[in-house]
Amino acid sequence: MLRLGKLTDYALLLMHTMSQPSESGRWCTEQLSLETHLPTPTVRKCLKYLVKAGLVDSFRGVQGGYQLNQCPDCITLAAIIQAIEGPILLAECHSSDGRRCDLDETCGLKGPLRSVGEIVMNFLDTVTLAELAAAQNVQSLMPQMIAVRGPA
């Protein structure tokens, strides 16, 4: 199952918040905590990952704080997820570290799952922070070639 952790949820919320204008142009952890209703230690932990990934810049001193490294139109959903979760994998057999699944020799799903994983990754790599914030529903984010199926 492809599931994002809570820290990734929080990182998405923080990135969205930082994409909004602030009084000083930078956000301090306390401001972000108040704005997002997240505990300050959680905000700090997320920011650490986001800074390390190069999505957020950190500034020290009285005029310090955090700000997005790029405009929201340039930051993809995939980049934010990978900053927290690491590589996005649909199945264990798709890891790049050479690990092999116990069923590697007999599994008939490896190829199809790899294709689905590539589609998911390509989609996440095309949705930007700005688009995510502006979207009213998932259909507005979906490429024209992918039809969203309703309940059967």
**Contact, 104 vs 110, CB < 8 A?**
yes
* pLDDT tops 60 at residue 7: yes
The dihedral region occupied by 136, where left means phi > 0, alpha psi between -120 and 50, and beta the remainder, is alpha
95-150 pLDDT tens trace: 665 566 677 677 777 777 778 888 888 888 988 999 888 876 656 666 544 554 55
Helix (H, G, I), strand (E, B) or coil at 79: helix
Please tell me the pTM assigned to this model.
0.80
Q: For residue range 59-110, what is the model confidence (pLDDT) as tens digits? A: 998 888 999 999 999 999 999 999 999 887 776 666 665 566 677 677 777 7
Whether the pLDDT of residue 1 is over 70: the answer is no
